[in-house]
Amino acid sequence: MTRILVAEDSATQATQIRGLLEEAGYEVDLVSNGREALHRLRGGAAVDLVLTDMVMPLMDGLQLVRAVRVHYSDIPVILMTSQGTDAIAIEALEDGAAGYVPKSQVNLRLVDEIAQVLHVSQVNRSYERLLTCLTHNQFSFQLSNDVALIDPLVDLLQQMMAGMRLCDSTGRVRVGLAVEHALLNALYRGNLEISPKDMLTAREMMFQGPPSAGVVEQRLSQSPYCDRTIDLDVTMSPDEARFVIRDQGPGFDVSKLPAGADPEVLENEGGHGLLLMQTFMDEVTFNAQGNEVTMVKRREA
Amino acid sequence: MIEIKHRTSGQVLHRVDADSLEGAVLSALKLAGANLAGMNLTKVNFRSSDLRQADLSKATLTGANFYECSLAFATMDGVECTGADFTEAVLEGTHAHNANFSGSVFRYAKLPHCDFTGSKLVKCDMSVSDSRGNFSNADLSEADLRGAKMEGAVLRYAELTKAKLDGANLLKADLTHANYNPQQLHNARATGVVGRSKLEAMKKQRRSWWQFWG
């Protein structure tokens, strides 16, 4: 059974989280601060994912993220953020966390976020040894609007990155999540022109099976949406991986993107994917039309 | 019989019924302000002891265990302390000039305001430590500083050859005349670093996510 180590100093919230996770079929190990979490890991506890609060006594979430990234890099960490911890949460995302869930949205998003991160972290390593011999890789995909193609594609990209040894396993998970968010954005927001409000529904549908009703299903069989494709160009070398993802939607006004740090982004579902892409990649740029994103991950020293 | 006395008052803090302290178990003891200067404390187990403001200058501490110890404002000038364990120890304000800590472990240790000027920290594991102190002229070659908090740390003339700095926070650190390869800072936070002459070769400066949109 998948085991999640939860670091949360509030007994009430810990109980709520345990209930949610156990109901979703996870085994839960609760600790009250980052130091206890590290002691569990050092003691050899078999943990698949760490879920941590940001503000805790003895060792906070930021220190825990750094420690796990350095000493237990196979284990992804998800943050639980709250108002007032935005700056530290963004620092933790930059330092190695694989995702975040605002505490105000724990009931709505926690289980989905964990499922997504665990899925991406469980990469098939069957080709890992062979791929270490690879020195350069370049390929292009033209994808239909089929969400089922995204998982195996992200899995393939992670395997390629493992072979290139561009980053450690946590880094690969983070790149995989960034690509996944970019592809989902290209599919739903770009090609199908789904509104941010309806994206919530689409997101849920991704984990619960193919869409069976609503605007997503309609547009999957309606012109011009159904005729559009997603182009993905990938170039990998031992120095960097470059991903160019282009949809055939109308794009968006790039100038309307936030001009500065927005502390409310962590609480905003619409900014979730963009924030993760920016923190997990070394470079993220859009074309002027807003329908093509280029993401670069450089080799970790 | 060996008596451990307070460095100023002379009060006896602890007695050990032995001819030598080498290999002694002195764990979970209250030894704040103890005078241990010049003693042979090889492989002594101080685990979880209170050694705040203790004088350990010129002591031999090879292989000693300071796990979870408090050494805040202790004096460790000139100690020979290779292969010691300082995991989760508190060394806030600790003064350790020209000491040899090579091969020691400082994982998760707290060293803010420490002064390790001229000390040897070769191959030390200082990962995820709080090392916001003075390491001027220190030899940190091959040290593991991944994830270390070194914001504002003074590393003037420090030797950092082959030191691992991935994820280290070096914001506003002073690296003037320090010896390192700019590539070592590729995955570190290095904004506002003083002594950037060697950093000019860096092709890329990592940007925070929000800076892109500006």
Asked whether the beta carbons of A260 and A245 are under 8 A apart, the reply is: no
Nearest to A259 among B146, B164, B214 (CB): B214
Neighbouring C-beta atoms of residue A263, cutoff 10 Å: 14
For chain B, say whether A259 makes contact (Cβ under 8 Å).
yes
Eight-state DSSP code of residue A213:
S
Residue B201 CB neighbour total at 10 angstroms: 9
Mean pLDDT of chain B, nearest integer: 90
Among A48-57, A188-197, B37-46, which stretch is predicted with the lowest mean pLDDT? Answer: A188-197
Whether B196 has a pLDDT exceeding 90, the answer reads: no
Give the model's confidence band at A254: pLDDT under 50 very low, under 70 low, under 90 confident, else very high. confident
Residue B213 lies in a domain: no
pLDDT at residue number B34: 97
SS3 B154: strand
All CATH 3.30.565.10 domain ranges of chain A, comma separated, are 128-298
Four-point Cα dihedral B55, B59, B64, B66, nearest 10: 10
Report residue B37 CA to chain centroid gap: 19
- Tell me the pTM: 0.75
Res. B213 pLDDT band, cuts 50 70 90: very low
Does B213 reach chain A within 8 Å, measured CB to CB?
A: yes
For the segment B93-104, what is each residue's pLDDT rounded down to a tens digit? 999 999 999 999
- Does the domain made of A128-298 have the CATH classification 3.30.565.10? yes
Measured between CB atoms, does B146 come within 8 Å of chain A? Answer: yes
Q: How confident is the model at residue B138 (pLDDT cuts 50, 70, 90)?
A: very high
- Whether the CB of A236 is below 8 Å from some CB of chain B: the reply is no
Answer yes or no: is B3 within a domain: no
Q: How far is CA B131 from CA A3, B62, B89, B114, in A?
A: 33, 22, 12, 8
The two three-digit tokens of residue B177, written as one number:
């005349």
List CB contacts (< 8 A) between B146 and chain A: 70
Q: Strand, helix or coil at A110? A: helix
Q: Give how far B175 is from chain A: nearest CA, Å.
A: 19
Q: Closest approach of chain A CAs to the CA of B38, in angstroms?
A: 34
Nearest-Cα distance to chain B for A76, in Å, is 16
User: CB–CB of A278 and B210 under 8 A?
Assistant: yes
Query: Searching chain A, which residue's CA lies closest to the CA of residue B206?
Result: A282
The answer to whether A63 faces chain B, any CB pair under 8 Å, is yes
- Name the residue facing A67 among B108, B183, B187 (closest C-beta): B108
Report the pLDDT averaged over residues B12-26: 95
| Res. B151: pLDDT tops 90 | yes
Domains of chain B: total? 1
Which pLDDT band, with edges at 50, 70 and 90, does B209 fall under?
A: very low
CATH 3.40.50.2300 intervals, chain A: 3-121
Average pLDDT over residues B155-178: 93
CATH superfamily, with its number, for domain A3-121:
Response regulator (3.40.50.2300)
Task: Decide if A220 contacts A214 (C-beta within 8 A).
Answer: no
pLDDT band at B61 (very low <50, low <70, confident <90, very high): very high
CB contact under 8 A, A258 and B128: no
pLDDT, residue A199, reads 67
Domain annotation covers residue B13 = no
CATH code where residue B91 lies = 2.160.20
Whether the per-residue pLDDT at A169 is higher than 90: the answer is no
Q: Which amino acid is at A52?
A: T
- Show the tokens assigned to B135: 């390491």
Q: Is residue B210 part of a domain?
A: no
B147: three-class secondary structure by DSSP: coil
Could you give the percent of chain A with pLDDT greater than 90? Answer: 39
CB contact, 8 Å: B205 with chain A?
A: no
Domain assignment of residue B45, given as a range: 22-202
Strand partners, A236: A137, A241
Whether residue B74 has pLDDT greater than 90: yes
Residue B93 within a domain: yes
First to last CA, chain A: 35
Does the pLDDT of residue A261 top 70, yes or no? no
B206 CB neighbours in chain A (<8 A) are 282
Q: Give chain A's mean pLDDT.
A: 85
Q: Which of A70, A259, A279 sits opposite B213 (nearest CB)?
A: A259
C-beta atoms of A38 and B186 within 8 A: no
With contact defined as beta carbons under 8 Å apart, do B94 and B112 qualify?
A: no
> Is there a domain that residue B209 lies in?
no
Cβ-Cβ contacts under 8 Å, B108 against chain A: 38, 59, 63, 67
Averaged pLDDT, A188-203: 76
Alpha-carbon distance A285 to nearest alpha carbon in chain B (angstroms): 8
Q: Which strand (E) or helix (H) includes residue A79?
A: strand A77-81
Contact between B128 and A275 using a beta-carbon 8 Å cutoff? no
Dihedral of the alpha carbons of A90, A176, A253, A246, in degrees to the nearest 10: 170
